[in-house]
Amino acid sequence: MTRPRERTVTPADYFAAAFDLLAEGGVGALTTTDVCARLGVTTGSLYHHFASGAAFYEAFIDHWENTVSPALRRRVDRAGNPTERVEALFQTAASGNHNAEKAIRAWANSDPMVAAAQRRVDKARELHLTNAYLAAGIPAAHAAILARIGFAILIGSQQLDAAIDRDRLSDSLNEYRRWVLSYIPDASTASTPRR
């Protein structure tokens, strides 16, 4: 009797399963056994792609830092003019995988490798936000401060509740958006985002 073949999974499939597990159960839910169970494969399949559990976790964090996060920035940068890019920033912030991001931030508290990646991602995101504000015409004296405030709203919202309250986050971001747009010359024509 022949054994049924496992379905072919890619490293991207493992990473997607890891994001789902983090979002659903926090860092404690992210085990190689649970990732494999989520995909319906054996742990041997995971070790075919990654030398060890530690190598998988390192590759996952590298994927988050160097693939997922830059892709979000590129999506914003594809928006037309600078004011539209600011709008795209708000849409991206509102629609993010906040529960997984919250879990990664918690993981960073106990793992130096994750903590270093978290610091780099935070720095790149805050710089991207600052540059978007500068490009939209916000004076330099205000752009970095507004970026820091916006970043604090997002991270604070991720930390305040057990699970992200998307309506509350959206309300906070919409209020912050009005504040930011008041600094942008000719932003009065910017549309109000839909919920």
Q: Per-residue pLDDT tens for 79-128?
A: 888 889 889 999 999 999 999 999 999 999 999 999 999 999 999 999 99
The model scores a pTM over 0.95: no
Q: Is 13 a residue whose pLDDT tops 90?
A: yes
Which residue ranges form the domains of the chain, and what is each CATH number? Answer: 61-186 (1.10.357.10)
Q: How far apart are the first and last CA of the chain?
A: 55
**Tokens 């989520």, located at residue:** 38
- Tell me, what amino acid is at 114? V
Q: Cα–Cα–Cα angle for 171, 150, 138, nearest 5°?
A: 110
Q: Is 6 a residue whose pLDDT tops 60?
A: no
The whole-number pLDDT of residue 63 equals 98
Q: Is 195 a residue whose pLDDT tops 50?
A: no
- DSSP one-letter code for 163: S
Q: Comparing 3 with 143, which gets the higher pLDDT?
A: 143
The whole-number pLDDT of residue 2 equals 56
- The Cβ of residue 156 has, within 10 Å, a number of other Cβ atoms equal to 11
**Range with lowest mean pLDDT among 37-51, 90-104, 162-176, 180-194:** 180-194
- The Cβ of residue 119 has, within 10 Å, a number of other Cβ atoms equal to 11
* Mean model confidence pLDDT for the chain: 90
Q: Comparing 37 with 192, which gets the higher pLDDT?
A: 37
The whole-number pLDDT of residue 1 equals 58
The whole-number pLDDT of residue 129 equals 94
- DSSP one-letter code for 65: I
**What mean pLDDT comes out for the span 3-19?**
84
**Tokens 């839910």, located at residue:** 29
